[in-house]
Amino acid sequence: MQDPYEILGLSPQADDAQLREAYRRLARENEGNLRRMEKLNEAYDSIVLARGESCGGTRSGTAWEKTAPPPPGFADIRQRLQAGRYDDALTLLDGVPLPQRGAQWHYFKGLAQRGKGWLEEAEKHLCEAARLAPENAEYQATYQNLRQSRQGGYRARRAAAEKEDDSGCCGLCLGLCCLDSCCECCGGDLIPCC
Amino acid sequence: MFGYVRISRPQLRCAEHDLYRGVYCSLCKELGARYGPLARLILPYDAVFYALFALAQQEKPPVLRPSRCSFNPAKRCLRCEKRNKALVTAADISMLMVYYKWRDTIADEAGLRRLLWLLPAPFFLCSGRRAKRLAPEAAKKIKSACAAQRIVERKEAPCLDECAHPSAQALGELLAATAESAKHAAALRRLGYLLGRWVYLMDAADDLEQDRKRGRFNPFSAHFDQPEAERRAFLQAQLNQTAEELLAAWEAVPLQRYRPIFDNLFTLGLPAMEATVLHTTRKERKRRAGSL
């Protein structure tokens, strides 16, 4: 996904009023262009959502970056992860002070490393996240998936799919046999040889 | 380092196999035309993958015509009709890779082995220089990857990801360069990165025994003293995880044609190669290849 600020032609420092203004102007210009509008809406929504999260739910017109401390929710990091900017996300994560590095920090770090292709580090951080927050279903599911893939998950799935195909064939034969028996009961014969 | 990215032949349809062979033959000819007949001997399967991948990205399908192998005129094969950009680039890249690999070997080896490797120096130096002139972009990528690899190997205890990063990144950039439009480049880069990582891990797993004996660098050196079964399970887990991410990345890659060949390569060829490398030694493989 493209950077939402880039789509709206803004810098990330723009305040909410500028954001609304830019969105309205672009929306007027691209009124007939559905695809472009969809992109604009998506970009606007993602920024508003991210700002809402980082400001604790209030969408006031003040400059949000000054009022909001960065860590709660890691909204800006989540946003960069969604945009596929993994190196940026890693830089931000490295800037988080040590005492604030909880389960969520490890989770995001794991996702960013995974996106970058550093799978061994990703495994370590996702494991740590799952260990620190055993009640969080998202972290647990991600870690379980990863563990399965380490044990050759895709091969197991392929094997299972092939087995299903086989049983499909057996099912067909069985069905034909049954049909034949039924026909014979009524005096007919579907398969003459048996 | 070469030859890990291969199709699984028994599972490939005949027409697709003919095509694969055709690209192989065309690439062989291209190498001969650009770097002389000696260069034909270096043709690695990875370069065939690269050529086929670049062909699959192009707008127009290549035209292959029946022809004969110039080494063995009794053998028939398909060959690309015109000079194709994909084949030319693949030839340059394979020459560059062999050249840098050779330089690495020269730097690593000592004594008699080094002398033996120095014998073909005129060929490598000449064609390496030529390749650098003909494909400066690719040369820059591969050279910087080699330099980064050397730096990582000198570190005290580099993590596995760090070790695999330079070669993975280089292959990512090389695959991204085949993209016809810029919007597909990211998907190709991701696929290339993971494939490069997989190849690096395979190479490291393959060299494990040799590196242990000679005391050379290996990213798995922390596992040298583990029991065989445990070590194998660890290597397999690493390869599995990379392969799984690779398959996910593969699904997002747009191609104009040849999807079944790559499906075969990624879902069957790579696991088959993993099994070969993890469960047989190099010597056994050579003996088997000789008996065929």
Distance CA(A125)–CA(A138), nearest Å, equals: 14
**B91 belongs to a structural domain:** yes
Mutation choice for A interface testing from B152, B161, B169 by most A CBs within 10 A: B161
Residue (of A149, A139, A113) closest to B243 by Cα position: A149
Return the DSSP state at B80.
E
Q: Is the pLDDT of residue A58 over 60?
A: no
Weakly modelled stretches of chain B, pLDDT under 50: 1, 291-292
Q: How far is CA B106 from the centre of its chain?
A: 20
Q: Where are the beta strands (DSSP E) in chain A?
A: none
User: Cβ contacts (< 8 Å) between B243 and chain A: which residues?
Assistant: 154
pLDDT digits 0-9 by tens, A6-32: 888 888 888 888 888 888 888 888 777
Closest-CA residue of chain A to B271: A155
Average pLDDT across chain A, whole number: 76
User: Cβ contacts (< 8 Å) between A153 and chain B: which residues?
Assistant: 240, 244
pLDDT score of A17? 80
**B3 belongs to a structural domain:** no
For residues A106 and B282, which has the higher predicted lDDT (pLDDT)?
Answer: A106
What is the span of the domain harbouring residue B228? Answer: 9-291
**B4 belongs to a structural domain:** no
Sign of CA dihedral B10, B16, B22, B28: negative
Which residue shows structure tokens 């390869």?
A: B239
pLDDT score of A61? 39
Report, as an integer, the average pLDDT of A31-43. Answer: 78
B190 touches chain A (CB under 8 A): yes
Q: Is the pLDDT of residue A106 over 80?
A: yes
Sign of CA dihedral B290, B110, B105, B159: positive
**B175 belongs to a structural domain:** yes
pTM comes to: 0.76
User: Cβ contacts (< 8 Å) between B190 and chain A: which residues?
Assistant: 117
Distance CA(B5)–CA(A80), nearest Å, equals: 33
* Cα separations in angstroms, A142 against A101, A126, A128, A152, A155: 19, 8, 12, 16, 19
Distance CA(B167)–CA(B194), nearest Å, equals: 10
User: Cβ contacts (< 8 Å) between A123 and chain B: which residues?
Assistant: 241
Q: For chain A, list the domains and their CATH numbers.
A: 4-67 (1.10.287), 72-150 (1.25.40), 157-194 (no CATH)
**B84 belongs to a structural domain:** yes
B29 touches chain A (CB under 8 A): no
For residues A128 and A160, which has the higher predicted lDDT (pLDDT)?
Answer: A128
**B273 belongs to a structural domain:** yes
A11 touches chain B (CB under 8 A): no
User: CA of B256, closest CA in chain A: separation in Å?
Assistant: 23
**B247 belongs to a structural domain:** yes
For residues B197 and A56, which has the higher predicted lDDT (pLDDT)?
Answer: B197
B4 within 8 A of B273, measured Cβ to Cβ: yes
Q: Do B242 and A152 touch (CB under 8 A)?
A: no
**B196 belongs to a structural domain:** yes
Q: Do A120 and B159 touch (CB under 8 A)?
A: yes
pLDDT score of A6? 84
Q: Do A119 and B165 touch (CB under 8 A)?
A: no
CATH number, domain containing residue B146: 1.10.600.10
User: CA of B244, closest CA in chain A: separation in Å?
Assistant: 6
Q: Is the pLDDT of residue A179 over 90?
A: no
Report, as an integer, the average pLDDT of A105-118. Answer: 89
Q: Is the pLDDT of residue A66 over 60?
A: no
Report, as an integer, the average pLDDT of A21-49. Answer: 80
B197 touches chain A (CB under 8 A): yes
pLDDT score of A166? 61
pLDDT digits 0-9 by tens, B66-116: 888 777 778 888 888 778 888 999 999 999 988 998 888 888 877 888 888
pLDDT score of A45? 79
Distance CA(A140)–CA(A136), nearest Å, equals: 6
B278 touches chain A (CB under 8 A): no
Closest-CA residue of chain A to B186: A84
Distance CA(B271)–CA(B266), nearest Å, equals: 8
Number of domains in chain B: 1
